[in-house]
Structure 1
Amino acid sequence: MGPAPGRDVSHLGDFTVSSRMLAIAALAVPVGAASAGVSWALLRLIGLITNAVFYGRLGTALVAPGSGHHNPAVVLLAPVAGGLVIGLMARYGSEKIRGHGMPEAIEAILLGGSKVQPRVALLKPVSAAIAIGTGGPFGAEGPIIMTGGAVGSLFAQFLRLTADERKTLLVAGAAGGMAATFNSPFAALMLAVELLLFEWRPRSYVPVAVAVCVAAIVRQPLLGTTALFPAVGVLHLTYGVFALCVVSGIAAGLLALVATVLVYAAEDAFRRLPVHWMWWPAIGGLIIGIGGLIVPEALGVGYNIIGAELDGSIGLGLVAGILLIKTLIWSLSLGSGTSGGVLAPMFMIGGALGTMESHVFPAVGPGFWALIGLAGVLGGVMRSPFTGVVFAIELTHRLDALLPLIIGATTAYAVSVLVLKRSVLTEKIARRGYHLSREYDVDPLEILFIGEVMERDILTFEAHLTAEEALAAISDIDPATVNARRQLLYPVVGDTDRLIAVVTRSQLETAVHQDDHCLTVADLGLTDPVVTHPDQTLRAVATAMAEHAVDRMPVVDRDDPTRIVGLITLTMLLAGRLRDLQEARDTARVLHLRVIRPRRRPSTPAA
């Protein structure tokens, strides 16, 4: 296919980028290092509170609340006390510490100019450590994402940066914290792209990648370099296993649906309570305590249980209890507005689902079905299938499970998006009256050029015409000449038909009405109009119109800016949207099969 005739696109590129990207990438280095430090500090704080509350000792090692025998009163009342403290912190500190962190980070990015309050950066990790340390069935990653994002945002707020650059550093801190928590730099990048950046551009990706890499490197002496849940054994994959991965993905998608519905059903139920929201986390803590009495292993982050699911060493009775109780206490208590993350609970719940399936499905390898369930539930709950797949691989280093993971996570994602309008992350934003679309597509205005839609047959005025003569000329135009009558903006040309100004119909009418009809159109017109070129994209002209507050512009030759070649209006920009709509809606059969039949020979008459 040859180039479009007469069109030079050498001024356009794949991406719009400037050297400022490198400056933001340099700023992302300390943000990434700080986010790794925050991750380490939060995990140590969770360990400190867990050891003190459940084991009566000083220590910062991350331990499971339910791994030993405890006084039932402690199991029941510790989450209540933790919820009460969180309620007080939220009411008298900052209400933004409520929730699991990621919706709050998304809201700050989309609605708050990527500005996070300093108090949130301090109170969010402390409240999360209290919630998890007193037995809350949550993950640390959501609060770390919010806290790491707060670190990046605060750093950016001390500098003279744009809102987009603050967003980049906020996401850099969030993704860096996540990479340091799970030793999962690739999954952190995928989460940033799928959930936080809302764009795929070098200006944001490069600094975020820098922060993630720095955080992963800083993590090594602090938390180690090995996989969080190292894979064991060899997988024996067959065609039947691939088909069952679809079944597992459907089950994971349905479980994601149940968990999401439960979270917001619980939130609705708490809203109907005749008590202040400050007390809701304590009530949610009571639910946690009751669940902990039934299945103590459901309390806390649960890394030990996830590990047991992924190496196949967990019993059927315990995994059934985890699947039921963990799902209930996590979703119901999260609806109370307490502080905690969603990733680790989804790992445990998804792993439990897969472990249950392993007692029905054929043996493939230790923890294989738990891994498929983990990625499926994550892809279904968060609507992030890439993140689910990459997370599962980085947590286990089980690269040989890549294809089954893609099948399971994609199936769960398909079920989730078909059944639910919004995810557990975006529903909270929608309930505050805002809409968030996570569909990314090539802007149709970026594909079409001005020269394809502009009006070429336009009316121009000679510079010596008076306002009265010009207005009379417009009024005398044949009504059948629609374009000229609705043109509204008229180029003014000199003796050599070169553009010297533009004048509007309203300017002509005002001049005549105010008895300035003797003024020429050259005197009335704007002598330095905003112009564009036929080889420019519709997106570029839309940006220029928004920037200069105009709805129509003269189109001039790029090599000769005084030669007028057409006129572009705001209405014409809809041509790009119309083409996009037609491609999505109009159906057509392009290829046809022709059946060639043998010719019949004419029959010879009988002699």
Structure 2
Amino acid sequence: MTGIDAVPPAGTVAQAPTIEARPPSPVARLCGAPWGLLLLAVAVGAGAGLGSIAFRWLITTFTHLFSGRADYASAGGSANPHVPWLGAAFVIIAPMVGGLLYGPLVDRFAKEARGHGVPEVMLAVAQRGGRINPQVSIVKALASALCIGSGGSVGREGPIVQIGSALGSTLGRFAKVPEGRMRLLVACGAAGGIAATFNAPLAGVFFSMELILGTFSAEAFGATVLASVTASVIGRAAFGNNAFLTLPPFHVEHLAQYGLFAALGVVAGIVGVGFTRILYWIEDACDWAWRGPEWLRPAAGGLLLGLVLLALPEMYGVGYPVLEKATQGGYVIAFLLLLLVGKVVATSLTIGIGGSGGVFAPSLFIGAMLGAAYGAVAGHLMPGVAGGAGAYALVGMGAVFAGASRAPITAVVILFELTGQYSIILPLMLAIVLATATSRLLSRDTIYTLKLRRRGIDLHTPAPHATFNTQTVQTVMEPVPAPLSADGELTTAADLLIRSDHGTLPVVDDHGRYVGTLTARAVAEALTDAPDARPSQVGDLAQADPTLTTDMPLATALHTLITATGTALPVLDPGKEHLLGWLTHQSALRALHGATPTPVTPLA
């Protein structure tokens, strides 16, 4: 049979060993080891830590460039020393110039870098297998740094979450890890970014578990802890081991204060939901008003933002110095409320015009203003009971964030780590739980999920194609074609193969056990040989193609199907003895598009 020796039959095992013969790369062997995930988590954490250093440096650099100061929010409307002749009016021009730089960058290279970033990561984990475009990390870092540096009233946690997550996804794609680990590496990137940026390793872990993964498991906890610790070590080497916010110590001085903190939690939940609604109302208004190209939208909208900054320069950038001053009692009640409203408007406008930045820091700012004003009023009404207004500011920070995000564990942990104030933990927990409950009563969505629902995406229900990832081969396989007997004649097999849709048929023995497949090509080549050199039975030409089993995940089976040379693969029982079905490219595509599979009647 020289013909068969010279040209291996299509769809036969002669081709299949090419899949097994290709040795796995060193990276694939490393990642497949039991400890491979741990090494990948450390690598992602290191990347997120270095990325956070670079990102914070970019923000500082651009803020100096656009305002002449490290943080203009506390400068009180001073002039930019680079352009002193403009006076305080430079804040009108700065957002326009910044938007002119990052607008085309986002529009051209990574549209998902627009906005606050966390919803895109949540979507990638929930419905896209953790896949994030690699260029997002670079584009997001530059766009967000330009936006914040030029006066955008947004935070840096959303960008660093997206940056770290993109790094994790890129590493997972390079290492060719399965989807489950890809999602976990994305969460590791988010945890590392939060940990390094805010010196909050525990908060990074719980942020990833509660908001990004939406689930808790020992494997996920271990991986995110490793990434978070690694990123924190790198971040502390660069920024020092200090609490992110420097606040005076607070104490609960009277039991009646717990009632005041509980009421603050309810109010903060309402404010958190209100912030969410206003954010998207203003974004809708910007969508309705703008008719020009998207790349020009941040520059044009920057004029409006600049006018807000001219009236209230405390809204420039993230605004942590203003937040600290409010917690220390540096503002009167009326100005605190003005700062609260101003931050809601400035942040919503920054996002609405196409800016890039997070909403976590603004929610802390809003909560601090609310809590400080609330504490000041309580102090006037009940001077002997209420205590210092600073404690209410701290509790308000966590409660408004919880009301907006509905992530109570993250809110408690992150406020403790950001401030180092353990003495306020009990009222903080009380207010955060009540804020979360109030938010749930008032709104179905959080500040993160509402952005996705407005695009028709519900993270709590599968995507149109998501069932593909949860199906097994048994749910989509086709009825098996009439098999050939291993002791049948080749001429009979040739007649049956001519009428076959796939050019290949399964072969079984006398007991119905699967033997292999026979292709039309193999029979045609065999029949061209001399009669005395020709195999006499079908079983002599049957090839043991890669096989699938009914309990195999469809996503895994699809990889085997597309790397095989034939047009279909046999589906066996879990014991790999009896033929039960047939998986073709068409049946896999039908499953991908959500079509109802053809019912399969098992062979007798």
Q: TM-score range by the shorter chain?
A: 0.5 to 0.7
Superposed displacement of residue 309, structure 1: 2.4
Superposed displacement of residue 276, structure 1: 2.9
Contact 1:270 1:335 in 2 (8 A): yes
Superposed displacement of residue 160, structure 1: 2.2
Residue identity (%): 32
For 1:484, the equivalent position in structure 2 comes to none
Which of 334, 337, 352 pairs up with 2:369? 352
Contact 2:401 2:411 in 1 (8 A): yes
For 2:399, the equivalent position in structure 1 comes to 376
Deviations 1:328-377 (A, max 9, x none): 11123212331011111111111000011011124434610001110111
Deviations 1:560-579 (A, max 9, x none): xxxxxxxxxxxxxxxxxxxx
Contact 1:152 1:169 in 2 (8 A): yes
Count of equivalent residues? 443
For 1:220, the equivalent position in structure 2 comes to 236
For 2:99, the equivalent position in structure 1 comes to 83
In the alignment, structure 1 residue 23 sits paired with structure 2 residue 36: yes
Distance 2:40 2:454 in 1: 35
In the alignment, structure 1 residue 92 sits paired with structure 2 residue 108: yes
Q: What is the SS of the residue equivalent to 2:175?
A: coil
What is the TM-score normalised by the length of structure 2?
0.68
For 1:560, the equivalent position in structure 2 comes to none
For 2:309, the equivalent position in structure 1 comes to 292
Contact 1:355 1:369 in 2 (8 A): yes
For 1:324, the equivalent position in structure 2 comes to 341
For 1:128, the equivalent position in structure 2 comes to 144
Which of 413, 435, 438 pairs up with 1:390? 413
Deviations 1:457-500 (A, max 9, x none): xxxxxxxxxxxxxxxxxxxxxxxxxxxxxxxxxxxxxxxxxxxx
In the alignment, structure 1 residue 420 sits paired with structure 2 residue 433: no
Structure 2: which amino acid aligns with 1:361? A
Distance 2:364 2:219 in 1: 32
Comparing both chains, which one has the higher relative contact order based on Cα–Cα distances under 8 Å and sequence gaps of 6 or more?
A: 2
Superposed displacement of residue 320, structure 1: 2.3
For 2:434, the equivalent position in structure 1 comes to 411
Give 1:529-548 correspondences, 5 Å limit. Answer: none
Distance 1:548 1:87 in 2: 43
Which of 286, 290, 304 pairs up with 2:321? 304
Contact 1:43 1:62 in 2 (8 A): no
Deviations 1:507-563 (A, max 9, x none): xxxxxxxxxxxxxxx9796789xxxxxxxxxxxx997697899xxx9999xxxxxxx
Q: Residues 554 and 367 (structure 1 numbering): CA distance in 2 closer, same or farther, change over 3 Å?
A: same
Contact 1:270 1:280 in 2 (8 A): no
Which of 257, 265, 280 pairs up with 1:264? 280
Superposed displacement of residue 227, structure 1: 0.7
In the alignment, structure 1 residue 175 sits paired with structure 2 residue 191: yes
Distance 2:457 2:34 in 1: 30
Structure 1 unaligned regions, length at least 5: 1-17, 440-521, 529-540, 557-607
Which of 188, 201, 212 pairs up with 2:217? 201
In the alignment, structure 1 residue 191 sits paired with structure 2 residue 207: yes
For 2:295, the equivalent position in structure 1 comes to 278
Q: Residues 86 and 555 (structure 1 numbering): CA distance in 2 closer, same or farther, change over 3 Å?
A: closer
Distance 1:276 1:371 in 2: 42
Structure 2 unaligned regions, length at least 5: 1-30, 80-86, 380-385, 463-508, 516-548, 559-571, 576-604
Contact 2:115 2:354 in 1 (8 A): yes
Deviations 1:225-276 (A, max 9, x none): 1111234234134332111112111111111111111111122222223223
Superposed displacement of residue 211, structure 1: 0.6
Deviations 1:2-22 (A, max 9, x none): xxxxxxxxxxxxxxxx99553
Structure 1: which amino acid aligns with 2:422? L
Q: Residues 365 and 31 (structure 1 numbering): CA distance in 2 closer, same or farther, change over 3 Å?
A: same
Structure 1: which amino acid aligns with 2:294? W
Superposed displacement of residue 172, structure 1: 0.9
Superposed displacement of residue 83, structure 1: 2.0
Q: Residues 261 and 424 (structure 1 numbering): CA distance in 2 closer, same or farther, change over 3 Å?
A: same
For 2:543, the equivalent position in structure 1 comes to none
Distance 1:247 1:299 in 2: 31
Distance 2:316 2:259 in 1: 34
Distance 1:308 1:197 in 2: 35
What is the TM-score normalised by the length of structure 1?
0.68
For 1:475, the equivalent position in structure 2 comes to none
Superposed displacement of residue 202, structure 1: 2.3
Q: Which deviates the most, 224-233 or 181-190?
A: 224-233
Distance 1:236 1:120 in 2: 45
For 1:579, the equivalent position in structure 2 comes to none
Which of 255, 259, 271 pairs up with 2:271? 255
Q: What is the SS of the residue equivalent to 2:256?
A: helix
Q: Which deviates the most, 131-140 or 24-33?
A: 24-33
For 1:54, the equivalent position in structure 2 comes to 67
Superposed displacement of residue 423, structure 1: 1.1
For 2:123, the equivalent position in structure 1 comes to 107
Q: Residues 526 and 26 (structure 1 numbering): CA distance in 2 closer, same or farther, change over 3 Å?
A: same
Superposed displacement of residue 420, structure 1: 1.0
Q: Residues 110 and 20 (structure 1 numbering): CA distance in 2 closer, same or farther, change over 3 Å?
A: farther
Q: What is the SS of the residue equivalent to 1:360?
A: helix
For 1:69, the equivalent position in structure 2 comes to 78
Q: Which deviates the most, 269-278 or 222-231?
A: 269-278
Distance 2:320 2:74 in 1: 11
Q: CA RMSD in A?
A: 3.1
Which of 161, 164, 182 pairs up with 1:148? 164
Distance 2:552 2:133 in 1: 34
Distance 2:304 2:72 in 1: 21
Superposed displacement of residue 314, structure 1: 3.5
Structure 2: which amino acid aligns with 1:398? Q
Q: Residues 21 and 99 (structure 1 numbering): CA distance in 2 closer, same or farther, change over 3 Å?
A: farther
Distance 1:286 1:386 in 2: 39
Q: Residues 251 and 286 (structure 1 numbering): CA distance in 2 closer, same or farther, change over 3 Å?
A: farther
Contact 2:375 2:388 in 1 (8 A): no
Distance 2:461 2:331 in 1: 37
Q: Residues 242 and 91 (structure 1 numbering): CA distance in 2 closer, same or farther, change over 3 Å?
A: same
Q: Which deviates the most, 410-419 or 73-82?
A: 73-82
Distance 1:115 1:372 in 2: 37
Q: Which deviates the most, 124-133 or 161-170?
A: 161-170
Contact 2:252 2:424 in 1 (8 A): no
Q: Residues 62 and 360 (structure 1 numbering): CA distance in 2 closer, same or farther, change over 3 Å?
A: closer
